Structure 1
């Protein structure tokens, strides 16, 4: 029997892991894009204060992956989130994305994504305790 050691990653280990999964994935399905295209935007008010932002990107299969979309609580329900989302989706479409993906929680933005044309494709019940984590997707049309 072989003994194995598990230890914390350093930057070289992380690169090996990412390169390994990418090599495997691309051996099964060819890439449509060569690199991760970052789509990261901030929105500011008339005073230059940051009131929201989005951290997203397009992967090698031309899917828009939204990691974080945030609007300052005092500025919610004013269309700012929709403006950020639409802006990001439009840039993604220009760059060849045809689908968008995001996850959120029932206490955050479930209704927001439904209102903006996203479909719930799955959820984890009771995570965090007493809540749901919800996964959404949306086909981006030209």
Structure 2
């Protein structure tokens, strides 16, 4: 007898079950070094209190720093704010036990910036988006 399966849009409660399921599996294979996601989100403001740069990052179960977004307002680019944010976040992560940092960017974004800041390319997806590439980088923090 064939089993019947239904695929439907994922609701919030189902998303929780999916996350719990993969976490249970992963932690059954490799013990956690940390209990929860530790956010490391920071902003830089100008003298008027306007947000001109920011980073959204954090550390997960195995104490790796994961950088999700690093942004600097176009008016303030090439003034060292991105490196200042990145270095601050790496320092905070190292103080919490991180030994590696990881991120992805596109060739039209910040590949050269991350290479200049000590990151190494560990992989890429060619022609995504069309005519470009998505680049995965990491850096040892120890």
* Structure 1 counterpart of 2:81: 80
The alpha-carbon deviation at position 47 of structure 1 amounts to: 1.3
1:91 is matched with 92
TM-aligned CA deviation for residue 114 of structure 1: 0.1
* Cα distance in structure 2, aligned partners of 1:66 and 1:86: 12
For each residue in 1:109-140, what CA deviation from the matched residue of structure 2 results, as whole angstroms up to 9, or x when unmatched? 00000000000000000000000100000000
Corresponding residue number in structure 2 for 1:129: 130
CA distance in 2, matches of 1:96, 1:8: 38
CA distance in 2, matches of 1:4, 1:52: 47
Following superposition, the deviation at residue 86 of structure 1 comes to: 0.4
User: Structure 1 runs of 4+ off > 4 angstroms?
Assistant: none
Task: Report the 3-state secondary structure (helix = DSSP H, G, I; strand = E; otherwise coil) of the residue aligned with 1:24.
Answer: helix
Other-structure match for 1:61: 62
- Tell me the TM-score normalized by structure 2: 0.98
**Structure 1 equivalent of residue 16 of structure 2:** 15
In structure 2, the residue corresponding to 1:35 is in which secondary structure?
A: coil
Deviation at 1:11, TM superposition (A): 1.3
Aligned length: 141
Q: Distance in 2 between matches of 1:28 and 1:61?
A: 12
Q: What secondary structure, in the 3-state scheme, does the structure 2 residue paired with 1:127 have?
A: coil
Instruction: Return 5+ residue gaps in structure 2 as ranges.
Output: none
Write out aligned runs for 1:8-47 (5 A): 8-47=9-48
Q: Distance in 2 between matches of 1:104 and 1:55?
A: 14
Cα distance in structure 2, aligned partners of 1:70 and 1:138:
19
TM-score (norm 1): 0.98
